Amino acid sequence: MLNIDLAGRRAFVAGVADDGGFGFAIAKSLAEAGASVCVGTWPPALNIFLNLLERGKMDDTRRLSSGEIFQFEKIYPLDAAFDTYDEIPEDLRASKRYKDVGDCSVDGLARRLVTDFGPRPLDIVIHSLANGPEVKKPLLEVSRAGYLAAVSVSAYSLIAMLQRLGPLMRPGGSALSLTYMASERAIPGYGGGMSSAKAALESDTRTLAFEAGRKWGLRVNTISAGPFASRAASAIGIIGRMVEYVSHNAPLTDKLDAGEVGAAAAFLSSPLASGITGATVYVDKGYHAMGMAVDPADG
């Protein structure tokens, strides 16, 4: 029998702030496979996340098949919009939600990992980060600042993370991100430059697979997940409609479960996927294969 066995491996999952999204589902699947899991949380969401954990509000969702409640090995503050501490504006550093977290930049994260676990602490890096401040605006109405912010946090942050975390990863390591098919097809309502950011993320995945593969022996892939009504996705404004449309028109009509993305991520992060890199893997009930709606009148 082939089993996904990640015992003895350490994963870092960027972009976990609750138990309702893909980041958490991936962290849980990695833990289920035996990995120890550290996460990075956006500073404005950090205290809420810690309070949920301390009050036991996430105990049920953290319960593994063994009955054990998995624990995050470390929870780090991370604002992936900033590569170094010096790039964080002084007024933001002094603000209520940032003043006590220290260096929450990507560089600061790398330094903390080395301090806590030594020079080569990681085997798996998961990029579950996306933000488009103008996501509800059509592309024709997006400002330059809004567009660049979407690309910066949703795509460039993967490059920034690999620049700093790649040297900290052990041989055979895996990096994985999350994308969406708006990168290749027009999805009305998914705006703010997010479609461009996802296209950049997929292109970067292929180039990074070559560069990080040759430099450190790492694999780099991305999962194109179907629409899922997480708390974060509610910012899009039409996520419910997106979920229903895919359910009506995909080859498999049951709605996507976050655990299905988590399971695919665990596989891609494991030695069982040692020959897979530079790939966009669809976990969307097969919707990407469709060329026409089942009922064209559905729009």
Positions marked active-site: 180, 190
Q: Please, are residues 193 and 134 in contact by the beta-carbon 8 Å criterion?
A: yes
Longest Cα–Cα distance of the chain, Å, equals 58
DSSP-based three-state secondary structure for 145: helix
Backbone φ/ψ region at 72: left (φ over 0), alpha (ψ -120 to 50), beta: beta
CA angle (227 as vertex; 223, 228 as ends), nearest 5: 100
Please count the other Cβ atoms lying within 10 Å of the Cβ belonging to residue 174: 26
**One-letter amino acid of 168:** L
C-alpha distances in angstroms, 268 versus 71, 205, 249? 22, 14, 27
